[in-house]
Structure 1
Amino acid sequence: MNSAIALVLLLCFLLPHLVLSAPVGSPAKPPPAFTEAAEHAKTLVEKILKDIPAAHAAAITTEGLTLDPSAQTTNLQMMMTSLGIPPAPVLKPPSESFTLDVWVSCMSAGGRLYQGLLGVLSDRLSGLSNLHADLRDLLTHIAKMKEVAQLGEAADQNHSLDLASRLHGNYEVQVAAHLTLTQLRSFCHDLMRSLRASAAYRLPSPTHSAAGTC
Structure 2
Amino acid sequence: MWRDMQNPAFENALENGHSLISKILNDTPAAHKAWIHTESLSLDGNDSGKLQYLKEVLNLTTAPALKPISDSLNLGDCLGQIAEGLRLHQTLLTVVSNLALVKPEEVDGLLYDIRDLLIQVKKMQSQTGVTSAPETQEDLKSQLQKNLAPQLEDEYTSQVAAHLVLLHLRDFSQDVSRSFRSMHSILFPDSDSQTTVALN
TM > 0.5 = yes
Over the matched positions of the two proteins, sequence identity in percent amounts to 37
Structure 1 residue 63, shift from structure 2 partner = 2.9
Aligned twin of 2:43: 67
The match for 1:167 among 143, 149, 159 is 149
Structure 1 residue 141, shift from structure 2 partner = 0.6
Aligned twin of 1:126: 103
Aligned twin of 1:39: 15
Structure 1 residue 151, shift from structure 2 partner = 1.9
Higher share of residues assigned helix: 2
Larger Rg: 1
Counterpart-to-counterpart distance in 2, 1:154 and 1:48: 23
Amino acid of the residue matched to residue 142 of structure 2? L
Amino acid of the residue matched to residue 171 of structure 2? S
For the aligned residue pairs, the C-alpha RMSD in angstroms reads: 2.3
Is the aligned partner of 1:183 residue 2:159?
no
Q: 1:157 to 1:92 in 2, by over 3 A?
A: farther
Amino acid of the residue matched to residue 173 of structure 1? S
1:133-144 superposed matches below 5 A: 133-144=112-123
Consecutive unaligned residues in structure 1, runs of 5 or more: 1-25, 203-214
Consecutive unaligned residues in structure 2, runs of 5 or more: 189-200
Q: 1:80 to 1:94 in 2, by over 3 A?
A: same
Counterpart-to-counterpart distance in 1, 2:21 and 2:13: 12
Secondary structure at the residue paired with 2:69?
coil
Counterpart-to-counterpart distance in 1, 2:141 and 2:61: 11
Structure 1 residue 103, shift from structure 2 partner = 0.6
Q: 1:74 to 1:102 in 2, by over 3 A?
A: farther
**Are the aligned partners of 2:2 and 2:75 in contact in 1 as well (CA < 8 Å)?**
no
Structure 1 residue 86, shift from structure 2 partner = 1.6
Runs (4 or more) in structure 1 with deviation over 6 Å come to none
Residue range with higher mean Cα deviation, 117-126 or 192-201: 117-126
Secondary structure at the residue paired with 2:3?
coil
Structure 1 residue 171, shift from structure 2 partner = 2.3
The match for 1:58 among 34, 42, 51 is 34
The match for 1:88 among 63, 68, 72 is 63
* 1:101-144 residue CA offsets vs partner (Å, 9 max, x unmatched): 11100100111011111112332232211111111111111111
Q: 1:148 to 1:55 in 2, by over 3 A?
A: same
Q: 1:76 to 1:29 in 2, by over 3 A?
A: farther
Residue range with higher mean Cα deviation, 121-130 or 71-80: 71-80
* 1:14-68 residue CA offsets vs partner (Å, 9 max, x unmatched): xxxxxxxxxxxx7524132111111111001111111111100111112311111
Amino acid of the residue matched to residue 79 of structure 1? L
Structure 1 residue 201, shift from structure 2 partner = 4.8
Counterpart-to-counterpart distance in 1, 2:73 and 2:60: 24
Counterpart-to-counterpart distance in 2, 1:27 and 1:115: 28
